[in-house]
Amino acid sequence: MARSTNQRPHISARAAALQGNSLGELFQLARERGAIDMALGTPGYPEPAAGIIQAAHDALGAGRNQYVFPPGDLALRERIAEGLPTPTDPRTEVTVTVGATEALCIALLAVIDPGDEVVLLDPGYEQFRAAITLAGGVPRSVALREPDWRLEPADLAAAFGPRTRAVLLNSPGNPTGRVLTPQELGSIAELAQTWDTTVICDEVYGSFVFDGRLSTSITEVPGLAERSIVVGSLSKDYAISGWRLGFLRADAERTKTLRHVQEVTTNGTAAPLQVAVGAAAASADLKVAAEEMARRRDLALEIFTGMGMRITPAEGGCFLLADVSALTGGRMDGRAFTFELLDATGVLVVPGASSFADPARGANYVRIAFNRQVGVLDEVARRVRSFRPAGEQRGV
């Protein structure tokens, strides 16, 4: 019998499990208000190097408009390999992707079978749980300990088991700003070896590490290196998030499989834009950019702790995870606070709950992006100066 057309369309369990973006209403309101966006990681700093824009014009003008070799333009892969901390063969170990977002999906699809477990740190980038689910995997979260989001070896060990297929890390982390220490990476390596798991690490903020810390790539850690897949991005280093350029770095054998998956997902990303980055003179001086980013972190800390938020300073990346409970006196959660701040000041932050496996654990947090121009941060400071959440006397 033919199916009735009134039936709701069938969707897969994987798709049905995705939550979608719950903040549409907030972003719509922010647009209407012309708010200052301190919510998203879209780079306001650094700026795209002028040479890169010209190179894109040139590539388009030169007719570089057709398919290229799916794993990416070789000059770009060479440039990416040069920027990595460990020797990397651009021909066999680097694959250019549609942003880190596609890289992450490819990595998971290449490693996970339905029902396999993936260990990840919590709070974390909300895309991670969604991408694991879409790949048919089961997220196993390890709660980082408040207030400074340290990883307890015992908590980590408890998450591993016979169904663990992969560990998904992110250092420096979104939203915590944590940079995993060599000790933490060492304990992950021990468990990864014991349970023979693949280790995927999102290192998109690897260039932005502060206060003299060293950013350690998993490719530098014995026990992790041999089982590593690095997810990288040009979105942040080059401030070209709209170009959708990212990459995967893995050994030649894993790379073969990753490329097979990529042939199915996108078969490669925008040819002229790849050519442009490969041909442009050089990226921004990332050492200077990291120092400048730390200056912005300090400005943002001053503004938001000055309001009464409790924040553990980010060690890297571009986000602060801020506890607003002292500021609100517990009278409202992070979501209500976000709406009130937007309403009263035209400054948009984002509720932190969606970064947590258990939203209740993140109820009192908001996330703030500080990769902004200093002038923007000054304007934020001016706008929030006399803000008091409802229930508090204003203008005191």
Ligand X SMILES: Cc1ncc(COP(=O)(O)O)c(C=O)c1O
**Which residues lie near ligand X (CB under 6 A)?**
41, 99-101, 125, 170, 174, 202, 204, 233, 235, 241, 246
Distance CA 364, CA 147 (A): 12
Give residues with Cβ within 8 angstroms of 395, minimum separation 6.
386, 388
Give the residue with the Cβ less far from ligand X, 203 or 333: 203
Return the bridge partners of 138, or none. Answer: 117
Return the bridge partners of 287, or none. Answer: none
Q: Choose among 257, 261, 269: nearest CA to 131.
A: 261
| 187-205 CB burial, b ≥16 within 10 A, e <16 | bbbebbeebebbbbbbbbb
Give the residue with the Cβ less far from ligand X, 174 or 312: 174
Q: Taking the complex as a whole, how short is the minimal distance between the CB of residue 104 and ligand X, in angstroms?
A: 7
Q: Taking the complex as a whole, how short is the minimal distance between the CB of residue 230 and ligand X, in angstroms?
A: 12
| 206-244 CB burial, b ≥16 within 10 A, e <16 | bbbbbeeeebbbbbbbebbeebbbbbbbbbbbbbbbebb
Q: Taking the complex as a whole, how short is the minimal distance between the CB of residue 267 and ligand X, in angstroms?
A: 17
Distance CA 30, CA 81 (A): 39
Taking CB atoms, the residue at the shortest distance from ligand X is 99
Give the residue with the Cβ less far from ligand X, 165 or 236: 236
Give the residue with the Cβ less far from ligand X, 247 or 337: 247
Q: Taking the complex as a whole, how short is the minimal distance between the CB of residue 387 and ligand X, in angstroms?
A: 26
Give the residue with the Cβ less far from ligand X, 116 or 126: 126
Q: Taking the complex as a whole, how short is the minimal distance between the CB of residue 169 and ligand X, in angstroms?
A: 10
Give the residue with the Cβ less far from ligand X, 321 or 384: 321
Q: Exposed, middle or buried, 346 (CB in 10 Å: 0-12/13-18/19+)?
A: middle
| 27-60 CB burial, b ≥16 within 10 A, e <16 | beebeeeebbbbbbbebbbbebbeebeebbeebe
Query: Tokens standing for 310?
Result: 């409790």
Give the residue with the Cβ less far from ligand X, 233 or 364: 233
Q: Taking the complex as a whole, how short is the minimal distance between the CB of residue 173 and ligand X, in angstroms?
A: 7
Asked, as a colleague might, if the bond just before 46 is cis with ω within 30 of 0, I would say yes
Distance CA 164, CA 186 (A): 18
Q: Taking the complex as a whole, how short is the minimal distance between the CB of residue 245 and ligand X, in angstroms?
A: 7
Give the residue with the Cβ less far from ligand X, 72 or 246: 246
Q: Taking the complex as a whole, how short is the minimal distance between the CB of residue 62 and ligand X, in angstroms?
A: 25
